[in-house]
Structure 1
Amino acid sequence: MITGAHTILYAEDAEAARAFFRDVLGLAHVDANNGWLIFKSPPAELAVHPAEPADTGRAELYLMCDDLTATMDELRSKGVEFTSEVTDAGWGLLTRLRVPGAGEIGLYQPRHATAYDLP
């Protein structure tokens, strides 16, 4: 049966992206081979959204937090660059941040029921 999920973030500068997840976000990791780091993800959930055919199969990464303002302040103090203003999407407060060498990912404070802590 399914034992986990493996998320891949493609990066033009994998070393910079790995350093961000390791040193800035402080995610625990293992070295799979010669610096090829695999990070422990925070508790996760999967949502399936309707899409046009051109977007079918596309995946996005959003990190979640309990207090978006406090999390943004903490990350800014570590040099994180936010690439969008906070948006109230109804289902949560949302922003985006830059991952060095790997583009942008989302960060949000959910207002919807969450599944990541279900047994």
Structure 2
Amino acid sequence: MINGVHVVIYSRDAEADRAFLRDVLGFPHVDAGHDWLIFKLPPAEAAVHPGENDGTELYLMCVDLEATLAELTAKGVEIAQPVSSAGWGSRAAIKLPSGADLALYEPRHPVAYDL
């Protein structure tokens, strides 16, 4: 039935953000035509949280958030939000070339992506 998840990131500078995903994060990709890149992402999981508003959030997960941020800043990536602690893990955000924030987190909970 369901065989995958397709995530869409809307961007004011899609070309620059695609280059960032390709060149800085190193995500493999296919070209769907006219430089419309579709990226292979790491394994994924989904959670449903209670909230005042409906919506979605995208977090890239990592095993060691501090080390990941150090590696990214060495590549010239700007940290948008420094590391903070939440009950479920540590989180931070980086800046995409378009100026948008991209959240990262190191989970403290059991993960489902390798089931």
TM-score where L is the length of structure 1: 0.93
- Point out where structure 2 has 5 or more consecutive residues left out of the alignment: none
**SS in structure 2 of the partner of residue 95 of structure 1:** strand
Cα deviation, 1:32-74, whole Å, max 9, x if unaligned, reads 011000000110000111121xx21x11110010011111110
Size of the alignment, in residue pairs? 115
Matched, 1:61 2:58: yes
Partner of 2:51: 51
**SS in structure 2 of the partner of residue 22 of structure 1:** helix
For CA contacts below 8 A with separation 6 or more, give which structure has more relative contact order. 1
Cα deviation, 1:14-37, whole Å, max 9, x if unaligned, reads 000000000000000000011000
- Which consecutive segments of 4 or more residues in structure 1 shift more than 2 A? none
Partner of 2:3: 3
Q: Paired residue for 2:71, among 74, 98, 108?
A: 74
Report the Cα distance in structure 2 between the residues aligned to 1:18 and 1:77, rounded to whole angstroms.
20
- Point out where structure 1 has 5 or more consecutive residues left out of the alignment: none
CA gap 1:3/1:31 in 2 versus in 1, 3 angstroms: same
Percent sequence identity is: 57
- Higher-strand-fraction structure: 2
